Amino acid sequence: MEELYTLEKEVGRGNYGVVFEGRIAKTGERVAIKRLPCKNAECIELYLQELWAMKATAKKHANIIALHNYLLQTGKRSLKPLKGGKLPRHLVESVLKGRVVGRMSQRQERGSRSDSQRRTNSASGLQDRTNTLPSTPKRPPNRTRKRSSQAEDEQPLKCSALWLVMDYCDGGDLNHFLLSRPPDAQRNHDVVRQLSSAVAFLHHLGIMHRDLKPDNVLVSIQPNGPVYKVADFGLSKMSSDGQTDGNLTRKNFSSTCGSDFYMAPEVWGGLTYTAQADIFSLGVMFWAVLERITFLEEGTTREQLGAYVSKGRWLMPLGEALWENADLRLRIPMKSKTATPLPPTPGLAMCSLLSDMLSSDPDSRPPADQLESRVCAALKEDSR
């Protein structure tokens, strides 16, 4: 194992995995370590999508969460680093077949556990200060392998989880970071600039995120100010040919996925859609950030940043409202807000850009490769 990690504490838990705060043992650098249990083919498909996207973007853009390392848990006490850019064959096969392949029988698993208990000189791959966690055992010296490397590759390893080692973001998610502080126009403008740059980079690489929302933007506190990073690529899709030279808008997708308040009208309607659906999601976020528009997450008292249409006592997601009525005119800025304190109302240029991003017609939204320059131009014009 090239690097050893120590788990400090759990910092997040979702439907698919658990995120821990950890450290690189040699340097003490803080990292986030995400454990993704491979319990069924659907989960494995999401994990591989996330891994593929993060490998493509690894450490190439300041506003996208960086992947430092990824490991395969092959047993209760075993972690195997994945090197050379190759993914385990049995994980890919699990996705194709729709079921987990390469599982050990209970007898094999018991034998494996007994064998691992007898190995007292194993190298620890991941350690917890209170509990014993997986380690990578060393092969006893002077033991030769009679099988060829090809035959060995054909022996599928049992995989219980993937571990992703990523940037640690000490500012939490965008909801927590912004709503725990007084409104600040400059901070809001930084969010808009940085996220438009991040999405432009993703689309240039042929990656559509498909779940852009404040919960999936993490904040790293730096000496020169906060850095906002797009994270959680579990629902992302990559074009098969990598870089698209701005043509991702012609790549069609059909799976309905995302989060209600940020989904584009065409996704709500179950139509095929393109990367322009990401631009709509980004528009919802930008409007909410610039005007500090919030709603309560259903069943909780937790505030979320997000724009919406009021229907009496009910709040309707923008995408759903526009799907029902494509001619609906959105009120930008949202004049009915009364909560204080509030940031300054967005200027005319930014309101016009938001209106374009939130168009019911995907082709009327600015493509990502133009969005960043339009954001900067609108903010500059409104500051005069």
Q: Could you read off the pLDDT of 335-346 as tens digits, one per residue? A: 666 566 788 889
Answer yes or no: do 130 and 201 share one domain: no
Mean pLDDT score, 175-184? 95
Find the largest Cα–Cα distance for the chain: 77
| Whole-angstrom distance, CA of residue 299 vs CA of residue 309 | 19
Angle at 197 between CA 192 and CA 200, to 5 degrees: 125
pLDDT value, residue 105: 42
Into how many domains does the chain fold?
A: 2
Q: Which of 90-104, 222-236, 255-269, 291-305 has the lowest mean pLDDT?
A: 90-104
Residue 192 has pLDDT above 90, yes or no: yes
Answer yes or no: do 270 and 184 share one domain: yes
pLDDT band with cut points at 50, 70 and 90 for residue 293: very high
For residue 310, give both structure tokens: 């009021």
Residue with the larger pLDDT of the pair 80 and 269:
269
pLDDT value, residue 240: 56
Is residue 164 within 8 A of residue 70, CB to CB? The reply is yes
Final residue of a structural domain among 111, 134, 167: 167
Burial class (CB in 10 A: 0-12, 13-18, 19+), 322: buried
pLDDT value, residue 143: 44
Within 13 Å, how many C-alpha atoms sit on residue 18's CB side? 10
In this structure, the number of other CB atoms found within 10 A of the CB of residue 321 comes to 20
Answer yes or no: do 11 and 115 share one domain: yes
Residue 131 has pLDDT above 50, yes or no: no
Residue 226 has pLDDT above 80, yes or no: yes
The gap from C-alpha 192 to its chain's centroid, in whole angstroms, comes to 18
For residue 276, give both structure tokens: 């322009």
Q: What is the 3-state secondary structure (H, E, C) of 174-237?
A: HHHHHHCCCCCHHHHHHHHHHHHHHHHHHHHCCEECCCCCHHHEEEEEECCEEEEEECCCCCCE
Final residue of a structural domain among 115, 143, 167: 167
Answer yes or no: do 249 and 375 share one domain: yes
pLDDT band with cut points at 50, 70 and 90 for residue 43: confident
For residue 195, give both structure tokens: 């996220």
Helix (H, G, I), strand (E, B) or coil at 81: strand
The CATH code of the domain that includes 103 is: 3.30.200.20
Give the residue among 307, 283, 281 at the shortest CA–CA distance from 293: 307
The CATH code of the domain that includes 352 is: 1.10.510.10
pTM of the model: 0.81
- What is the rounded average pLDDT for all residues in the chain? 81
Answer yes or no: do 186 and 45 share one domain: no
Answer yes or no: do 365 and 216 share one domain: yes
CA dihedral 365, 369, 370, 373 (to 10 degrees): 140
Domain extent, residue 68, equals 5-167
Answer yes or no: do 210 and 315 share one domain: yes
Is residue 202 within 8 A of residue 360, CB to CB? The reply is no
Q: Where are the alpha helices (DSSP H) in 27-118?
A: 41-57, 89-97, 106-118
| Whole-angstrom distance, CA of residue 289 vs CA of residue 277 | 19
| Whole-angstrom distance, CA of residue 18 vs CA of residue 162 | 11
pLDDT value, residue 299: 76
Final residue of a structural domain among 134, 167, 200: 167
Q: Collect all residues with Cβ–Cβ distance below 8 Å to 97 and sequence separation of at least 6.
A: 41
Mean pLDDT score, 130-156? 42
- Residues 330, 334, 335, 338, CA torsion sign: positive
Q: Which positions are annotated as active-site residues?
A: 211
Mean pLDDT score, 248-266? 84
Residue type at 16 in one-letter notation? Y
Answer yes or no: do 28 and 160 share one domain: yes
Answer yes or no: do 269 and 300 share one domain: yes
Mean pLDDT score, 25-51? 86
Answer yes or no: do 132 and 206 share one domain: no
Element (DSSP H or E) covering residue 70: strand 67-75
Q: Collect all residues with Cβ–Cβ distance below 8 Å to 144 and sequence separation of at least 6.
A: none
Any idea how long the chain is?
Answer: 384
Burial class (CB in 10 A: 0-12, 13-18, 19+), 157: middle
pLDDT band with cut points at 50, 70 and 90 for residue 135: very low
Answer yes or no: do 142 and 202 share one domain: no
Residue 92 has pLDDT above 90, yes or no: no
Element (DSSP H or E) covering residue 98: none
Answer yes or no: do 223 and 268 share one domain: yes
The gap from C-alpha 230 to its chain's centroid, in whole angstroms, comes to 6
Element (DSSP H or E) covering residue 127: strand 126-128
